[in-house]
Structure 1
Amino acid sequence: MMPSLFLAHGSPMIALQENAYTNVLSEIGKAEKPEAIVIFTAHWETPVLTISSVEGEYETIYDFGGFPEELYQMKYPAKGSPDLAKRLSELLKSANIDSQFDHRRGLDHGSWTLLKHLYPDADIPVVQVSVQPFLPLEQQFKIGEAIRSLGEDHILVIGSGVTVHNLRQINWGATEVEEWAVQFDSWLEENMLKGDYDTLFRTMEEAPHAQRAVPRPEHFIPLFIAMGAGNRETPDILFKGYELGSISYLSAAF
């Protein structure tokens, strides 16, 4: 049984870095060898859930600016899987969730910067999926729940986002983590480990510093998609860490 994962993608620079977090990603890739990957990325927002159905090799998208030239030279030449895209659509339809296909879009940095460390050979088919950021958290969970059976067939579902993602709160000279960011993540972790989904669905109303941590939901909701797709009774916290004072790298397996 393949778990689902919520993985923080943080800065695009992780594609070039070797650190404690990227080492964890590499170890996950060694431990889990899926037949295919379905990845929901915070950097693809659509009004209708959109599934990549790409024949052949993906283009690598550089959806960022102001970074070293080396980053723009990187490629992640994974191939798509129209058959898996079709299956994904059918699973969503059976749960009364609308979706559509995209046949052209490449892999954005919410996908390839993680996949480069997980599976550097780019030899596993990938289906990238958009997010609908303004659906309620309970509905995001149901999207994951609708595709939970993929884990039984050794297909890895990944939600790629960030729990604490407020670019206005970045402290470029930070040497310590902001306490408010830790408090928000700790609240999430506590309720995830308890399996208290009803409370988690009320995160924005009840979690400490929720509005500060999540000023906009697109990076937060992949957590709930991964959570819904999970097969484990109790999640595993894979990594906890921060960058620039508050950008979280909290990651978990469900």
Structure 2
Amino acid sequence: MASPDLDFAAEKAGDPLFVQSLARGMQVMAAFQGVERALSLAEIAARTSITRSAAQRLVHTLRKMGYLRLTEDGRGFLPDLGVLDLTYDYLRLNPLLRRASPALLELRRNVRERVDLSLFDGQRMVYAARMQSKREMFFATLVGNTVPTFCTSGGWAVMAHLPDHQVDALLANADMKALTPRTLTDPAAIREQIAMARENGHALALEQILMGEVALGGAILGAEGRPVAAIHVAGSLSEWEPEEFRRRVAPLVAETVRSIESL
């Protein structure tokens, strides 16, 4: 994922409290989103649309603060432990995650499959709690990993609780790249899944993110009745028939959602 495209001049002009230098520093950290390796200073400058000299000063400052480190070969930079400290603080101070943790553990014991909690962030669902199964690869188990809202069970469940005009806006602005041969990219087909989720109280997705995977999602509503997160349970189609998976998992997900929302 490319780093956010922020118009700093427009932000500064429209908001007297906006700190442009701080925003550029955060832009440097965001440059690492979606990359597979360390970034050179030139690459950081290019990905953030800032000058090399400005990138050098920002990277130096972030290194001194413990948020970036130089690789052993001296050819690039990577996020350092300071980022993990911030992640830990976010997770422990998030009231939803604090409430959800015991319920998710109980759900994982009951279903014996992968259980995730993702936070709704517009076009993406951001994994904030992950309880993996034996089949998962390393990157797919990490907190902070994101998946598109438009093609996931949790995303469909979340959109089922949004008014139609907001669903239309999300789909109109979605980058509908197919992740598997079965990923739905036709807005009409996606709306059918959302309608089914409204009727059933959950969404069932087949091979939308990974081939061979069946996933069931249920939305978690906030205090104002708007969706803020979703629970996903994922299994293998080599072990489950889709309707059997639904019958087994849907009541447990619904119970877990009620437990979290009632706290």
Same fold (TM > 0.5): no
Higher helix share: 2
Where relative contact order (Cα < 8 A, 6+ residues apart) is larger, the structure is 1
